[in-house]
Amino acid sequence: MITIDKVSKHYGSFQVLTDCSTHVNKGEVVVVCGPSGSGKSTLIKCVNGLEPFQDGQIHVNGTSVGAPKTNLSRLRSHVGMVFQHFELFPHMTIRDNLTLAQVKVLKRDKDEAAEKGLYFLDRVGLKAHAHKFPGQLSGGQQQRVAIARALAMDPICMLFDEPTSALDPEMINEVLDVMTELAQEGMTMMCVTHEMGFAKRVAHRVIFMDHGKIVEDDSKEAFFANPRSERAQQFLAKILQH
Amino acid sequence: MEYQWNWGVFLLPSAVNDGTYLDWMIAGLQTTLLLSLSAWVIALLLGAVVGVLRTVPHRGLAFGATAYVEMFRNIPLLVQLFFWYFVLPELLPAVAGNAFKALNPVAQQFVAAMVCLGLFTSARVAEQVRSGINALPRGQKNAGLALGLTLPQTYRHVMLPMAFRLVVPPLTSEFLNVFKNSAVCSTIGLLELAAQGRQLVDYTAQPYESFVAVTVAYLMINVVVMLLMRKVEVLVRVPGYLGGK
């Protein structure tokens, strides 16, 4: 579904990604973790072309992301993305947040889009809030709306960029529950997250990054039981203390 | 010498018998309103476009927009006005130049003043719009793009609605400035409010009454603008955000 092949990226002389290669198969859940500044968010943003990269290739469902001829808008319209800071559109009601791209990008008619949007809003347990504005919801609720907004586009895969990092601890689980459910339904997912509990429960594979390189890329069992690199061992030791 | 106040002066027939002096003031007020409002429309439209262009990821466009802004906001308004009125008609191709000069003098003054004031203000509006766009969280643009919206769609539906809301207060200042700056246009002979006030002094030797009337008229215009913009601020308020409930 997603293949990342020898991708490198630099800002001027600063190397952000070095020779990153990995893949995500259909129906697979891959968690990307690593210390801050290790390039994991950059890598996931390269997948739908939000960040350009200089070397290497990324293919999503057979389409090359970096190729100049690629219609990035079309590609992105079926690659769902969820952001750290939710990024709902604050001047629109929840309903309009859910329907905007369906109408403008997929050219669905308004009623169909609203029906679809409300269906997913119901699935994340927020149907009663359709008429509200994002600012009137809690962080956890906003993030669930953001997931519903992405799902309403019928994505072939979902990218999560630290979806719980900006949340109060008590709201993290409501978001992780939605993500877990999604994974169990077979959605292809690439998640940048520090939630190792989620990784243990849900992920098929774990990628560990450090200094712009993919240091480990292993099944979750192998990763948690026996990380090969010293850097990953240190990281796990620090993160799992709690 | 004691100053002889005479508020009745406004009701006297004018020296050239074209109504009362009050009619002069009203005519001046109308010109000021018409000039400023049409300049404001130009400023908002052009300013929005130029402000957006300053933020787009295209070097040529962004450079052009920056050059536009710097040119119009760094040359004194008076100099710009003289350029539009005295110099440009001579530089234009003969057809256009002559067409301009064939207009009646009042229309020439009005068009030059409107274009001048509109472009001058558009550079300032552009800066406000740019600052509004830059004040948005970076992720908003990404969120729009990630949903498959094109960059223009993302500007139109995601970024600009919030950017404009953010800059309503500074735009109010610019709106007020248009009316105040329009007084400069009396220097090319346009009989707007300030010019009519000065003319009244020349004809009646009642300067205090005249300047009080002009001052009150400008104040009234700007009170109305302020109230209007406050209404706009309330109307576009976003619930749960930016001072909304």
- Residue-wise pLDDT tens digits, A35-52: 888 999 999 999 999 999
Over 60: is that where the pLDDT of B244 sits? no
Nearest to B114, CA basis, from B88, B84, B155, B136: B84
Please answer yes or no on whether A134 and B241 come within 8 Å at the CB atom: yes
Distance CA(A117)–CA(A145), nearest Å, equals 10
pLDDT tens digits, one per residue of B159-185: 999 999 999 999 999 999 999 999 999
Quote the pLDDT of residue B216.
96
For the record, the structure tokens of A60 come out as 């999503």
Distance CA(A160)–CA(A147), nearest Å, equals 9
Quote the pLDDT of residue B18.
84
How many Cβ pairs within 8 Å bridge chains A and B? 87
Within an 8 Å CB–CB cutoff, is residue B140 touching chain A? yes
When scoring B145, B147, B155, B164 by the number of chain A Cβ atoms within 10 A, the one with the most, hence best to mutate, is B147
Please answer yes or no on whether B147 and A132 come within 8 Å at the CB atom: no
pLDDT tens digits, one per residue of A49-81: 999 999 999 999 999 998 989 999 999 999 999
Q: What is the ipTM of this complex?
A: 0.93
Within an 8 Å CB–CB cutoff, is residue B168 touching chain A? no
Distance CA(B229)–CA(B172), nearest Å, equals 6
For the record, the structure tokens of B15 come out as 């020296």
Please answer yes or no on whether A87 and B244 come within 8 Å at the CB atom: no
Please answer yes or no on whether A76 and B239 come within 8 Å at the CB atom: no
pLDDT tens digits, one per residue of A179-223: 999 999 999 999 999 999 999 999 999 999 999 999 999 998 999
Instruction: Compare all CA atoms of chain A with the CA of B158 and give the residue at the minimum distance.
Output: A89
Q: pTM of the entire structure?
A: 0.89
Distance CA(B199)–CA(B11), nearest Å, equals 15
CB-CB neighbors (< 8 A) of A72 in chain B: 145
Distance CA(B191)–CA(A101), nearest Å, equals 52
Quote the pLDDT of residue B240.
81
Task: Give chain A's mean pLDDT.
Answer: 93
Q: Which of B149, B157, B241 is facing A73, going by the closest CB pair?
A: B149
Quote the pLDDT of residue A239.
77
Q: Which residues 6+ apart lie within 8 Å of B211 measured at CB?
A: B197, B201
pLDDT tens digits, one per residue of B203-233: 988 999 999 999 999 999 999 999 999 999 9
Secondary structure class of B237 (helix, strand, coil): coil
Quote the pLDDT of residue A37.
87
Whether A182 contacts A80, CB under 8 Å: no
Whether A29 contacts B127, CB under 8 Å: no
Mean pLDDT within B116-129? 97
Over 70: is that where the pLDDT of A242 sits? no
SS (H, E, C) B172-191: HHHHHHHHHHHHHHHHHCCC
CA angle A96, A102, A104 (to 5 degrees): 90
Whether A205 contacts A221, CB under 8 Å: no
Over 60: is that where the pLDDT of A8 sits? yes
Nearest to B161, CA basis, from B87, B242, B81: B242
| pLDDT band with cut points at 50, 70 and 90 for residue A21 | very high
Over 80: is that where the pLDDT of B186 sits? yes
Q: Which residues 6+ apart lie within 8 Å of A198 measured at CB?
A: A31, A176, A179, A180, A191
SS (H, E, C) chain A: CEEEEEEEEEECCEEEEEEEEEEECCCCEEEEECCCCCCHHHHHHHHCCCCCCCEEEEEECCEECCCCCCCHHHHHHCEEEECCCCCCCCCCCHHHHHHHHHHHCCCCCHHHHHHHHHHHHHHCCCHHHCCCCHHHCCHHHHHHHHHHHHHCCCCCEEEEECCCCCCCHHHHHHHHHHHHHHHHCCCCEEEECCCHHHHHHHCCEEEEEECCEEEEEEEHHHHHHCCCCHHHHHHHHHHHCC
* CA distance to partner chain A, nearest, from residue B244 (Å): 9
Quote the pLDDT of residue A143.
96
Quote the pLDDT of residue B17.
79
Quote the pLDDT of residue A237.
86
Quote the pLDDT of residue A241.
64
For the sheet containing A14-24, what is the strand order? A14-24, A2-11, A55-60, A63-64
| pLDDT band with cut points at 50, 70 and 90 for residue A26 | very high
pLDDT tens digits, one per residue of B64-104: 999 999 999 999 999 999 999 999 988 988 888 888 888 99
Over 80: is that where the pLDDT of B1 sits? no
pLDDT tens digits, one per residue of B27-53: 999 999 999 999 999 999 999 999 999
Please answer yes or no on whether B148 and A74 come within 8 Å at the CB atom: yes
CB-CB neighbors (< 8 A) of A139 in chain B: none
Q: Which of A48, A83, A91 is facing B165, going by the closest CB pair?
A: A91
Distance CA(A216)–CA(A223), nearest Å, equals 8
* CA distance to partner chain A, nearest, from residue B239 (Å): 6
* CA distance to partner chain B, nearest, from residue A24 (Å): 19
Q: Which of B139, B158, B161 is facing A85, going by the closest CB pair?
A: B139
Q: Which residues of A touch B (CB under 8 A)?
A: 45, 48, 50, 72-74, 76-81, 83-85, 87-91, 100-101, 104-106, 132-137, 149-150, 153
For the record, the structure tokens of A48 come out as 């739908």
* CA distance to partner chain A, nearest, from residue B55 (Å): 17
In CATH, the number for domain B16-236 is 1.10.3720.10
